[in-house]
Copies of this chain bind each other. A is one copy, B any other.
Amino acid sequence: MSQHARDRLFGAIDELVLIDPHTHVNPHAPASSTLADILGYHYYTELAHSAGMPKDRIEEPGLDPREKVGRLAEYLDRIDNTVQLSWLFEMSRTLFDVEIDRFTRGNWETLYDAAQKKFASPDWENEVLKRSKVEKVFLTNDFDDPLEGFDANRYVPCLRTDDLVFHLSTAKVHVRLAKATGIEVGDASSLRQAIGKLFEHFVKKGARACAISLPPRFTPDQVDVAAFEKAFRGLANETTRTSNDAERVESFVFWTLAEMCDAHKLPFDLMIGVNRAVYPQGVHQGMDLYDSRVSLIQYRALFNAFPNVTFPISVLAPTSNQELVSYAWIFPNVVTNGHWWYSNIPCHIANDLRARLEAVPKTKQIGYYSDAYKLEFIQPKFAMYKRILADVLFEEFVVGRKWGEERAIGLGRTILRGNVERVFDV
């Protein structure tokens, strides 16, 4: 009986048409064109590499897609226990109409060929979205993205700002920013002007969020103009610059972004805790890790200074989720956002979700986003989440609080869809 109730809850939640509030989808090529686009996802390449596959077997220049998938198939049985590989099986069933529960030397070609037929169909992009019940997909756009040539109603732009905060002083970013805005940044005033232009451009093109990923050490604070300008000049001199200079510039740019979010009424997605290139010899996008010694107390000044900016926050370590629940419980402008990266496995999701549902106002929780690079990943990742959500709704609310099923389903809808609409105003 309890399994039936769980199934009914899952079924009801699974009928929802979704908005995916954070992905890395390329709107000019949103769907895959070969299975190598799927298996080239860093979750597979990094796990295959971790399980023993040499990096150059995966990253050989000019490698044929079919050959690449065949090579990966030699290693993927070593990760057949992982939830990441279960996404492939889920998508095979729901999108490619192939039932498999292993991916090996012996069967990879069956999937490759079946998938290829799908990719070749003229309407594949729409078909994936339809089968996945997804209506809108948020993007992650470089600050100098022209945001042209795609339907911004379906693919919602989002201004990604890591380069501005952490690499403003590099020649490359300086030139890109000048090209995008027509402004050569040399002081606080020109910086503010340039960033203002970016926001105007993004908002005009339909952007619904500003976003950034942040290292554990980052502790933003308000920096005054004189201190910023001194530090910014300091950074220009490679021999005398200090880490203090860099931190001041980062803080100032970050603070300016928050001011712009305030002015343009954009939520500011903070993805807190990643250390980049911890394993520089890793595969593409498989080099980053974290230090769980990070605290949201580092954002205390920010949350207080910008009461009108909504901060949807993602954290990497379950330890940080415990703090996130408490901060979202106290700060009106802190919203819990999905289950990010290393936290995005069922046992962590279940604990983190349970804590959020028990202690954070239901209107302040963005349930999930896929973080996908290709549309095909949205369905299996959301399916994983929805199964856990249905279980938690059943155990905590239907059994624990004696709620009717409809009420529990309503809570699921709020988390999965209602809050996305309201928080991001889509």
Contact = CB atoms under 8 A, between A and B. Distances in A.
B361 A82 contact: yes
A346 interface: yes
Contacts of A295: 291-293
A357 interface: yes
Contacts of A286: 330
A79 to B, nearest CB: 5
A8 interface: no
Contacts of A239: none
Interface stretch (A179-187, A242-250, A276-284): A276-284
B307 A297 contact: no
Interface residues of A, number: 73
B279 A303 contact: yes
Given A293-B293, A304-B281, A323-B290, A329 B81 contact: no
Interface stretch (A49-57, A147-155, A367-375): A49-57
Nearest to A75: B361
B46 A329 contact: yes
Contact of A82 (B49, B86, B297, B359): B359
Given A281-B307, A319-B319, A330-B279, A355 B347 contact: yes
Given A82-B358, A297-B289, A401 B101 contact: yes
Nearest to A283: B330
Given A295-B291, A326-B289, A326-B290, A84 B359 contact: yes
Nearest to A278: B300
Contacts of A362: 78-82
In the complex, the 4 A-B pairs of residues with the closest C-beta atoms, listed nearest first: A51-B361, A347-B354, A291-B297, A81-B362
